[in-house]
Amino acid sequence: MNRTKGVNFRILIISFVVVLLSTQAFTANTANAYESVPTAGVAINGKMVDGINPIRLNGQYYVPLTHLGKILGYNHIQFEEATKTYEMTDGSTLVRTTMGGTKARRGNEFININPPRWINNTAYVPLDGAGSLFNVYIYFKPENGSIQIQKPAQQYQVRQGDSLWLIAQAHHTTVDAIKRTNSLGSNVIYPGQLLKLPPATEMKEMEPAKEHRKVEETNPAPAPNIRNNIIAEAQKYIGAGYKFGATLNEAPYLFDCSSYTMHVFAQHGIQLPRTSREQAALGTTVSLNNLLPGDLVFFSTPTMYSDGRVGHLGIYMGNGDMIHASSSSGVHISENFMNIGYWQENYLFSKRIIE
């Protein structure tokens, strides 16, 4: 009888401990549970453009990743269900992020990011993580409950694991430029610190010399014939409209700069990747003085991006002319483009795709 009572007593104690631990776990989970907040207006550079439904988790604001991406023009979106990974592009640069991951990829650079979360079958990204991913400065404005976006970003919030060197690499600038802009006397930085970004003239991506990827080509014609055909093909779409981050399904009626070149070259057996940054990694470098029809010319777009990235490209036609899809005029020809101040100031490099 005493033996039975002892066993029962131990069972009672174990049960009590299990209940206590379960209660503590439930309390912890409840404390970590997200909180719905009212729909927030989204303003880009002070102009209200959309609304979004954020949540608050551990006191931090998160926004739906794909909705924010579309607001910023990242319309081409792919999702890997098995790994809960998103790839998105605005036509300039591909970004890639995995739910729960502390590193993401923007173009060819890895960046530190506070982990996105998968909640109720929706991907949410914290505001500071969104800033790193999309190269904007984004914050919550409590006065009116809005999400404010500064584009292009003029400042950067330091993340865990950052160094001045990593920040400089991601923004195509130098450590000295960042230190000078922020009057820093040492290389010491800390998470949460706001750094001013150097001026656009000190942030320009140089041609990725180690990324001369082979071009996928199935056209057996001689190179001069291919060049002529490419230029003739490119001119078929003069007057087509422009859409930032256009999807491939919208061709040939709507293009951005890289979906345009991708479509034109594909009609003649040359497969280019989707983004201007990826296209910049193809072929061989060629100087302005040695351009041939069909070469690709690349530019930065400081009014859109503050990381000095490749932001625009066009197809060289010969005689100093370039045909391209631009945000202002759609598909058109810019005659003697290097005599135009804007293209002079933002020119980066040129690549030869057709050898």
- Count the alpha carbons within 13 Å of 6 in the hemisphere toward its beta carbon: 3
Tell me the catalytic residues.
257, 312, 324
Rounded Cα distance between 208 and 315, Å, is 19
Kindly report which listed range (19-28, 32-41, 217-226, 270-279) carries the lowest average pLDDT score: 19-28
Q: Would you state the structure tokens that stand for residue 267, as one six-digit string?
A: 């009609």
Interatomic CA distance for residues 153 and 43, integer angstroms: 14
Q: What angle do CA 119, 120, 126 make, to 5 degrees?
A: 30
pLDDT band at 5 (very low <50, low <70, confident <90, very high): very low
- Kindly list the structural domains of the chain, giving each domain's residue range(s) and its CATH number in brackets, ordered by start: 40-154 (3.30.457.10), 209-352 (3.90.1720.10)
Could you give the CA distance from residue 83 to residue 244 in angstroms, rounded to a whole number? 28
| pLDDT for 333 | 98
The neighbouring-strand residues paired with 326 are 330
Give the pLDDT mean for 159-185.
95
pLDDT number for residue 1: 44
pLDDT tens-place string over residues 101-143: 999 999 878 899 999 999 999 999 999 999 999 999 999 999 9
Cβ contact 354:219 at 8 Å = no
What's the pLDDT score for residue 216?
79
